[in-house]
Structure 1
Amino acid sequence: MNKSEHVLNKLLVQLFNELLEIEHDALKNGPFSDLSITEIHTIEAIGMYTPRTMSEVASDLKITVGTLTTAVNKLIKKEYVTRERIEEDRRVVMIRLTKKGKLAYRVHEKFHSDMIKETIKGIDDKEEEILISSLEKLSAYFTYRYHLSNTATENK
């Protein structure tokens, strides 16, 4: 690895770990300390306004419906989510956020909004454009690698 690659690697690992730690601390010290990071991300995937199927949410989270069922059961017990089967097809399970779940969603959304505002505070428009462009390229690379590795796994 050359010097730039070494620095970039170190920064990416450090940023990833710090983001997880900051998010974890914000949850544990906030009004929703009974939620894990995984649970708040499940709430985020369910969304605010319309009921969603278990399959849709599982797909968005890139987990199985069985794994999501376990998570949703915990969130139901904690009163963040409700679940119901639709009458037309009893196999289809719809989930939605409760009032408490929507509040958790909004608080988490504000946490991310504040974090982004702090991140770009003090940089000019050109630097912001470069940051966005760089992160889009990085995201595209990781998305490509993820799909490439999943395709290889499926073909085995």
Structure 2
Amino acid sequence: MNATSNEIKADYNFISDALVDIYDQIMRIEESEIRKSRFKDITAKELHLVHTIGLHDLKTTSEVARILRLSKGTLTANLNNLERKGYITRITNQQDRRIINLTLTSKGRLLYRAHYAFHRKLVEQCLKGFDGPAIKKMKQALINVEDFIGEVSTK
């Protein structure tokens, strides 16, 4: 093995370890911040469900289940909790009454904005010092990871 392949192997190992560590730390920070905030009644999983529902689009329960790769039963249980806690509202679609649309309440929108601000800061730190072409490469790397995760999770 030459010096270049040793460097590449070391870079791969670093990236692998960093992805695991970053994921773990983000989850810990989010859980810690939730406990210190006015949103003590919500879990990190519920927080990500609120984020997936989003601010402006009316997503259906089927869309949210597909995005989060949740069974409809699991999603329903989580939606029941969020609705009971006052973060979401279910709206029956007027064109097709079998379809349930989801929207955030004012409390849910406030939580969404706080979570979005945290992620915006993460992205700013991640891209600090990068120029346009490097940002495009980072974006492509993340698309590659998403595609891989999508392939693995559908098997």
TM-score (norm 2): 0.80
Query: Which whole-Å CA distance do the structure 1 matches of 2:92 and 2:21 have between them?
Result: 43
Q: Which secondary structure does the structure 2 equivalent of 1:91 belong to?
A: coil
The Cα shift of 1:143 comes to: 2.6
Gaps in structure 1 of 5+ consecutive residues? none
Q: How does 1:84-95 map to 2 (within 5 A)?
A: 84-95=91-102
Note the residue ranges of structure 2 that are not aligned, 5 or more in a row. 1-5
> Would you say how many aligned residue pairs link Structure 1 and Structure 2?
148
Q: Distance in 2 between matches of 1:71 and 1:18?
A: 24
* Secondary structure, counterpart of 1:48 in structure 2: coil
The reply on whether 1:124 has 2:122 as its aligned counterpart is no
Instruction: Please give the alpha-carbon distance, in whole angstroms, between the structure 2 residues aligned to 1:32 and 1:24.
Output: 10
User: How far apart are the structure 2 equivalents of 1:137 and 1:86?
Assistant: 36
Pair 21,55 (structure 1): closer, same or farther in 2 beyond 3 Å: same
So what's the TM-score if we normalise by structure 1? 0.80
RMSD (Å), alpha carbons: 2.3
Q: Report the Cα distance in structure 2 between the residues aligned to 1:51 and 1:144, rounded to whole angstroms.
A: 25
SS at match of 1:31: coil
Is 1:36 paired with 2:43? yes
- CA 1:64/1:31 → structure 2, altered by over 3 Å: closer, same or farther? same
Partners of 2:10 and 2:69 in 1: CA distance: 35
- Secondary structure, in 3 states, of the residue corresponding to 2:40? coil
1:6 deviates by 2.2
